Amino acid sequence: MTMSMDSMYQQIILDHYKHPSHHDLLDPFDAEVHHVNPTCGDEVTLRVRVADGTIADLGWQGEGCSISQASTSVMSNLVVGKPVTDALALQQKFLELMQSRGGAELTEADEDELDDAVAFEGVSKYPARVKCALLGWMAMKSAVAEAGWGEKEAGV
């Protein structure tokens, strides 16, 4: 029996929801942000430590729907240890995927880069849920900017 892509993606989301990565507020930290998605009631508090233009560490806590919490978990796995420029480029790629309304045509390279974040592809068909999936990514973007590594400083 083979699993459909949809059920495989649902499983990835469920696993991250049940066992979130980087799910603790690190200390010390360079910046902390708190983002809310009022339409769904999702919240995330996220802290980052940036060293020499690299996201040295990131930790978060939150509450809300499985999509918002799982997406933040996936994002944290993808960006910790990455240069800020790469993390922001990936954030842009995920944003475009979420804005595709189910019409994204991902290359194999995109899929490799997005890794588990590809599991949220189906969410793009549901405009009401897109903000859930983006919550943690937007928080990460704000946090690195607040830490002094925004798009301008990072040269994106």
Residue 38 phi/psi, 5-degree rounding, is -60, -30
Q: How many C-beta neighbours within 10 Å does residue 152 have?
A: 8
User: Smallest gap, in angstroms, from Cβ of residue 95 to Zn ion?
Assistant: 17
Closer residue to Zn ion (CB): 43 or 116 = 43
Pairing relation of β-strands 42-51 and 31-37? antiparallel
Q: What is the sign of the dihedral through the CA atoms of 77, 22, 98 and 4?
A: positive
User: Smallest gap, in angstroms, from Cβ of residue 98 to Zn ion?
Assistant: 13
Closer residue to Zn ion (CB): 70 or 87 = 70
Q: How many C-beta neighbours within 10 Å does residue 107 have?
A: 8
Q: Which residues bind Zn ion (CB under 5 A)?
A: 40, 42, 65, 68, 132
User: Smallest gap, in angstroms, from Cβ of residue 42 to Zn ion?
Assistant: 4
Closer residue to Zn ion (CB): 65 or 104 = 65
